[in-house]
Structure 1
Amino acid sequence: MKTIELVGYGHPDRFADYISEKILVENLKQDQKAKVAAEVMVTRNIVFLGGEIYSKAKIDYKKLVYEAIEKVYGNKWWPNYQNVRIINDIKAQSPELIKIQQEEIVAADQGVIYGFYNQKRYERIIMLYQIIDSLQKKFPIAPDWKLLFNQELKELSISVCGVKAKVHPNINLFLKQQFLKYNLKINVIVNPKGEWLIGGPLSDTGLTGRKLMIDAFGAGVSHGGGAFCGKDFSKVDKTGVLIASKLAYKISQQKKVKTVLVELNYKIGDKIPKVIVRTYKKNKMFEFNYNYDLSLNDWIKEANILEVDWSEIVLKGGVIFYLKDILK
């Protein structure tokens, strides 16, 4: 886990995540019992909406998508986006899945989910997003960027879209100065293959869930394979990450270890998962079963996550920005 990988919210995959979370949030605003599994594909000329939803909400999905494009790109980074075609193929959720959620929220599918805690890694990821936020305020870069931060080599490689090559040295110097504020002397490489002026969906296709490892704490941490974005809270791919990460934090404090990985196993219909914990100390790994007795339904009530605007979480950088406020 020496290298952290992150991408901007204007990366096509993250933008697809953003739309899928907007679909979730808008449904929950009108119907807190909504069941949502929203999938999005974004191209230069078409935005395709798929997935399964059970909801009483009445939503203008075409308007939702255009508002999302305007907020993230606008005409500056996606000229004439008003001509983009919106295809809505969202279907009703299976009645068999709806039936198992009647009395209380239970796991809507089987899944293996991981939560993680390491304070230094959390702080480094948040630091990187804050530095890039400062960069975007200083230079007219596009919201599409991607970086690799190698902590061992003390090197940042970053590709930013939307600025001419003559600006690259200024960005390089600015980033080095930002790192010095955190007492870090970092070798910075900006746009290693030269100018990158066409980004976002104009140059690449975006898919919900294709940046799973970004939501898995910057890559290098175990991931169960399920997409976090666009899911309601009966979908343990989403809720399980939050439960397991908070549990990892709790165990790190109790056992005074720096790094904890928590694995949850849910069968469809489960209220409570099976839990395996791995702690790491002095290059040794210790594994044990953990007795966890809080039901999915009760955890959702306790955490008050129905009120969170998950689309704004994506714009900030992802699930870690929600976790940083609850891991206290």
Structure 2
Amino acid sequence: MSIKNGLFSSESVSEGHPDKLADRISDRILDAFLERDPNARVACETMLADQCVVIAGEFKTKRIEDFQAVRETAVALVREVLEDTGYDEAATGIDPNRCEVQVRFNRQSQDINQGVDRRDGVLGAGDQGLMFGYACNDTPELMPAPIMFAHRLMRRQAEVRKDGTIPWLQPDAKAQVTFRYVNGMPTEIEAIVLSTQHSDEVELGDLKQSVLEHIINPIVPDDMRSNAFRTLINPTGRFVTGGPKGDVGLTGRKIIVDTYGGSAPHGGGAFSGKDPSKVDRSAAYMARFLAKQVVARGWATRAQVQLAYAIGIAEPVSFVVETFGTERDAQMDATQELSAEFDLRPEGIIAMLGLNRPIYYPTAAYGHFGRSDLQLPWEDI
């Protein structure tokens, strides 16, 4: 992020947001494949609209029985995710027991597979593309402050919804946090925007008071609030209809929420529903890992990593580390140091980070980076 002095905002969404529902379903299908075949090739997309869920994609497993088994259980997995998220009726969200679920699974194209599972035994990149990783000293997690606080607000919304503290909350929600930066560092919070789905019987004033008391106040301490601090809670005044009833959900439509909240560039490729041979996912995780090493080792206070690949080719076509003038030693070449230390081919990334495991479903809400609640290998130092 190039801002030095001024305001910067980031957004997060809840696990019940329709796009996040789609991500969660796609990653639940991915995990089901990896449970049976760690080397499965998975590209799963989900769309939700009103009372209909469509899951589609291309898949390859060593045994045809594993493909068939996941396809046969896919409908049950979808309903499980919807119920786990907190939806229970059609009028204002989606009914997990009665909604229509369509399954459109295909076998992976041989044209793609021949470039990934190459005859020479080398794992080629599953697609062309560019990926970014980022780390900074804004927070202990080495993440930008605005996105971390937005995620915390959304996690808190889920907590007080599920434990009954605010009984009229429903699963769909969004939070936006605006920080003031001075000399490149976040100093105070200027504004919180939080919209949450709710049941019909609650009055707007009661909802705003409860959200302020039980969600915002526990997350945003007084000493972080500017003199002009303000909250905008459900600014439209009513948010009863939500989830797929209120808006169509699609896999991969919240890529900025998933990463750095706009504080760093994004290569454009989404994560959810993709196995780690797809460098959109695995190389983005590796880029975060590398950027975090730069900051954690004290080489710089801010680091951005870019990787780029060609489909079917193992070696990256480019790799660069940018430290924005915050490096401790101007003579040290971080790109060269990391290139010599780490294997940046897909097979090397997958092996080092242990990505052929069913670890993805929990990442599909509240961000893929800076997570202290999950043991994610790309967050290791």
TM-score, length basis structure 1: 0.90
Secondary structure at the counterpart of residue 154 of structure 1: strand
Contact 2:150–2:175 at 8 Å: present in 1 too?
Answer: no
Question: Hey, what does 1:49 align to over in structure 2?
Answer: 55
- Root-mean-square deviation (CA, aligned residues, Å) is 2.5
Specify which of 42, 46, 49 is matched with residue 40 of structure 1: 46
The 5 Å alignment of 1:82-101 reads 82-100=97-115, 101=117
What is the letter of the counterpart of residue 170 of structure 1? S
1:327/1:29 Cα in 2 relative to 1: closer, same or farther (>3 Å)?
Answer: same
Contact 1:53–1:90 at 8 Å: present in 2 too?
Answer: yes
Question: Hey, what does 2:80 align to over in structure 1?
Answer: 67
Question: Hey, what does 1:130 align to over in structure 2?
Answer: 152
Specify which of 127, 132, 148 is matched with residue 114 of structure 1: 132
Determine which structure has the larger helix proportion and give its number: 1
Distance in 2 (CA, whole Å) between partners of 1:239 and 1:96 is 21
Distance in 2 (CA, whole Å) between partners of 1:82 and 1:254 is 50
Distance in 2 (CA, whole Å) between partners of 1:63 and 1:176 is 36
What is the letter of the counterpart of residue 368 of structure 2? V
Contact 1:40–1:208 at 8 Å: present in 2 too?
Answer: yes
Whether 2:169 is the aligned partner of 1:169: answer no
What is the letter of the counterpart of residue 313 of structure 1? T
Contact 1:313–1:319 at 8 Å: present in 2 too?
Answer: yes
Question: Hey, what does 2:275 align to over in structure 1?
Answer: 232
Contact 2:124–2:312 at 8 Å: present in 1 too?
Answer: yes
Question: Number of aligned pairs?
Answer: 325
Specify which of 319, 325, 328 is matched with residue 275 of structure 1: 319
Question: Hey, what does 2:363 align to over in structure 1?
Answer: 313
The 5 Å alignment of 1:170-319 reads 170-181=210-221, 183-185=223-225, 186-254=229-297, 256-273=299-316, 274-281=318-325, 290-291=335-336, 292=339, 294=343, 295-315=345-365, 317-319=366-368
What is the letter of the counterpart of residue 319 of structure 1? H
Whether 2:39 is the aligned partner of 1:17: answer no
* Percent pairwise identity: 25
Distance in 1 (CA, whole Å) between partners of 2:335 and 2:49 is 44
Question: Which has more radius of gyration?
Answer: 2
Distance in 2 (CA, whole Å) between partners of 1:118 and 1:254 is 12
Give the C-alpha shift of residue 181 in structure 1. 4.1
Distance in 2 (CA, whole Å) between partners of 1:148 and 1:324 is 28
Give the C-alpha shift of residue 325 in structure 1. 7.1
Regions of 4+ moved over 6 Å: none
**Any gaps of 5 or more consecutive residues in structure 2?**
2-7, 181-188
Give the C-alpha shift of residue 277 in structure 1. 1.7
What is the letter of the counterpart of residue 135 of structure 2? Y
Question: Hey, what does 1:326 align to over in structure 2?
Answer: 379
1:85/1:175 Cα in 2 relative to 1: closer, same or farther (>3 Å)?
Answer: closer
1:180/1:225 Cα in 2 relative to 1: closer, same or farther (>3 Å)?
Answer: closer
**Any gaps of 5 or more consecutive residues in structure 1?**
none
TM-score, length basis structure 2: 0.78
